[in-house]
Chains A and B, each alone.
Chain A
Amino acid sequence: MTDWRPPLPLIGAWLGLLALLALTVTLAYVPLGAGNAVVALTIGTIKAGLVAAIFMELWHRRGLTLVFAGAGLFWLGILLWLGSMDFMTRT
């Protein structure tokens, strides 16, 4: 276990998430065509990164913990890869 840290980074990350949420909602109403999806997904990725780094405390971790966290990401990749294989090649 790490030492207890002042919750400043947590509050910062939380505010960051709220700001990104506001940005998502706002941009959803700006017509960008295909750009809308790209923007939404990019923001989503940043949010997930914030949660993983700060709330899941992966920032200070190394070794086995990162391997397992990476495995989670890798498995998500499998879901997206084999799942989209169907969507891309459907006739």
Chain B
Amino acid sequence: MSEKTYLTTDFTLRSWFLTTDHKRIAILYFASLIFFFFIGGAAAAAIRIELATPQADLVSSDVYNRLFTMHGIIMVWFFLIPSIPNTLGNFIVPLMIGARDLAFPRLNLMSWYIFMLGGCTTLFAIFAGGVDTGWTFYTPFSTLYSNSYVIVAAAGVFIAGFSSILTGLNFIVTIHRLRAPGLTWYRLPLFLWSLYATSVILVLATPVLAITLLLMATERFFGVGIFDPRIGGDPLLFQHLFWFYSHPAVYIMILPGMGVINELISCFSRKEVFGYKFVAWCSLAIAAVGFLVWGHHMFVSGQSLIASLVFSFMSFIVAVPSAIKVFNWTATLHKGSIHFDAPMLYALAFIGLFTIGGLTGLFLACLAFDVHATDTYFVVAHFHYIMVGGMVTAYFGGLHYWWPKITGRLYSEYWARTAAILIFFGFNLTFFPQFILGAEGMPRRYHVYPPVFQVWNVLSSGGAAILAVAYLMPLFYLGYSAFFGKRAPANPWNAPGLEWQTSSPPPEFNFETQPVVTREPYQYNERFDAEPQNA
């Protein structure tokens, strides 16, 4: 190995912390997100330990409130939202389109610093005494009653929002302007379509979150009447503004995962994605229609019946493009030459778990059902099936798929498959019982519960223990492979994407010569009908 790769051009700390190389910035994000995932995970572990028994034994109600708030805030804004876009996206987007870097490399670095500033601000709030409002910061609790570090925590989220906006902007401009010659829109890998749709949401929705948090802080700090009816505010305004951001944000948290799944399914079925154009446009449809459904979080809030009906109807509409994708993935598998490599195991898990999460979302979108299920564990199970079963699974799948490209090393297929299976098993054991608990009426956000619920809670906590071990495993075998693994060839999966045409790991500016695209994506059958080689 005499050629310099992006990892070996320079070894100084300075060369990492002042880098403008999208690949190195992706690594910075990887490291930061692992850190935040552990903090959020620690809170989850404490919650599940507490809930193993009906009484309060580990923490008081006050501490419990702080735990689930910390878990939610960290996992949503400091793990899931940046997860795939800022790590895999950052690394792969320029490679996939045959560019030297993102359109604004320095902005990319700045977005990482802003993210870290926001993260540290929120962490400070958490360790100085915590926040107890839940990740939703609902008023009037957050503005009038809570005695916790609401403003500091919200400030961290506010700051991190700018990082989201910059990333979205960077991706949009990159995909518009830096595509290799011949790479038309309909030749883009579907991962890029989904990241493009995600970026549009990031740019259009995040400012509303910033304004909402600012208004909340203004009312809390200065007593200006915005949400408090006694001083002229409207109590539901906060929820409207918050969910105008946060429902689209749940699509920020799933679209990139869907994008990764397209790449995995087609690679390990050795087939092109069925209905390419449908899948591509469904990403944009989800992004657009996702803005019209936020009121389904407010069915019991006292919003008008007409509004509830409209939002309920729109929620059914928004499920259509997601369902189209699921059917198209299934059709892609049909008559494929299926290989159960580790990334494929994650992809298959994704399809099943996402489908359960999405379908239960439709249950919740029914007005009459939601009155019973809202604020119960049914909702908790619903969104964990999508966010953890879906997005985190896709994240791991993508990480394994592109790992040889990122590190230039091969991991142990045996351990990778074991971890994938264990994650699937642990996940379902943790969250499926929560559907049952919710259907039986166990409310969310309490640290004690009637003893009749204990069996399902013990199962759930047991599953969480398995899940914790399973999530730790990649840290070891991937970590080991990064230093001692077998060298990866440029294209270990025999995949046609541009990212596989440069060496593994790529040189600093990605390609020795400017690649030119002459074919549609996912042409596995023509030149690339060989099998994947990672053994």
Contact = CB atoms under 8 A, between A and B. Distances in A.
Chain A partners chain B: yes
Interface of A: 64, 68, 71-72, 75, 78-79, 82-83, 85-91
A82 B312 CA distance: 13
B307 interface: yes
A88 B307 CA distance: 10
Contact of A79 (B200, B244, B307): B244
B208 A79 contact: yes
11 contacts: A64-B176, A68-B203, A71-B200, A75-B291, A79-B241, A82-B295, A82-B310, A83-B240, A85-B307, A89-B306, A90-B304
A86 B304 contact: yes
A62 to B, nearest CB: 15
Given A64-B176, A83-B244, A78 B306 contact: no
Given A82-B292, A83-B244, A86-B240, A91 B176 contact: no
Given A79-B208, A82-B310, A85-B310, A90 B291 contact: no
B32 to A, nearest CB: 29
Interface string B301-330: 011111100110000000000000000000
Interface residues of B, number: 25
Contacts, number: 47
Given A68-B172, A72-B204, A82-B295, 6 more contacts: A82-B307, A83-B237, A85-B304, A86-B236, A89-B305, A91-B305
A82 B313 CA distance: 13
Contacts of A85: 304, 306-307, 310
B204 A71 contact: yes
Contacts of A79: 208, 240-241, 244
B164 to A, nearest CB: 15
A90 B203 CA distance: 31
Interface SS of chain B: helix, strand, loop or mixed?
helix
A63 B237 CA distance: 35
B62 interface: no
B57 interface: no
A86 B381 CA distance: 28
A72 B168 CA distance: 14
A90 B234 CA distance: 12
A68 B196 CA distance: 13
Interface in B274-319: 291-292, 294-295, 302-307, 310-311
Contacts of B205: 75
A78 B205 CA distance: 12
A80 B294 CA distance: 13
A75 B245 CA distance: 11
Contact of B292 (A78, A86, A90, A91): A78
A91 B303 CA distance: 9
Contacts of B304: 85-91
Nearest to A88: B304
Contacts of B176: 64
B291 A78 contact: yes
Most buried by B among A78, A86, A91: A86
A85 B303 CA distance: 10
A90 B303 contact: yes
User: Which among A64, A83, A91 has the greatest number of chain B C-beta atoms within 10 A?
Assistant: A83
Nearest to A81: B292
A75 B307 CA distance: 18
Contacts of B203: 68
A75 B306 contact: no
A28 B295 CA distance: 33
A86 B204 contact: no
List the 7 shortest-distance A-B pairs measured between CB atoms, nearest first. A86-B307, A89-B304, A89-B306, A90-B304, A86-B303, A83-B240, A75-B204
Contacts of A68: 172, 203
Given A64-B176, A79-B244, A91-B305, A86 B295 contact: yes
B309 to A, nearest CB: 10
A82 B295 CA distance: 9
Nearest to A87: B234
Nearest to B237: A83
A86 B308 CA distance: 8
Interface in B150-204: 172, 176, 200, 203-204
